[in-house]
Amino acid sequence: MEIRNGIAIGQTTANDSTKTNNRGSLSTEDFLQIMAAEISNQNPMGGSGGSGSNTDYISQMAQFSVLDEMSKISDSLNILTLMGQQQYAFSLMGKEVTLSDGEGNNITGNVEKVKFEGGYGIIQVQGKDYYLGSIVEVSNPEVSK
């Protein structure tokens, strides 16, 4: 997750559902293969031989499943955040906004265009692009008259 203009934004892509495993990660399939190897190589004489009890495997699998589901929930929340940001950006079309230019100056003008770069919403005011985090105030010019 990246923070831009004071807003935490997670960037996701359509390929996130088909992630490839890095060398440092362990998939559910990897865990099941390790667990099957451990079970098949147990000491038949009943000694633990340093490995845990049979219930330890079940506990570890449950913990691994919970972690996997939490990761999926996190991905879903990131997508929802981006969708919310997109809806907010589109709702600003034609509205009058006051923006901070990052140098202590405020610029006021109507939102002329909304675009997205790298998943981040950008509005155009007076021909210049600004991130949504630069917005200080929003007003409806028709209501202000």
CA 143 – CA 76 distance, rounded (Å): 37
The C-alpha atoms of residue 66 and residue 64 are separated, in whole angstroms, by 5
Sign of CA pseudo-dihedral 55, 56, 58, 62: positive
The structural domains of the chain, with segments of one domain joined by +, span 1-14+24-145
Question: Which pLDDT tens digit goes with each residue over 103-126?
Answer: 888 999 999 999 998 878 899 999
Per-residue model confidence as pLDDT tens digits over 64-99: 889 889 999 999 999 898 889 889 999 999 999 999
CB contact set of 51 (below 8 Å; sequence gap of 6+): 38, 42
Which pLDDT belongs to residue 5? 47
* CA pair distance 138, 123, nearest whole angstrom: 12
Provide the β-strand partners of residue 114.
123
pTM, entire model = 0.53
Which tens digit of pLDDT belongs to each residue from 2-21?
454 445 444 444 444 444 44
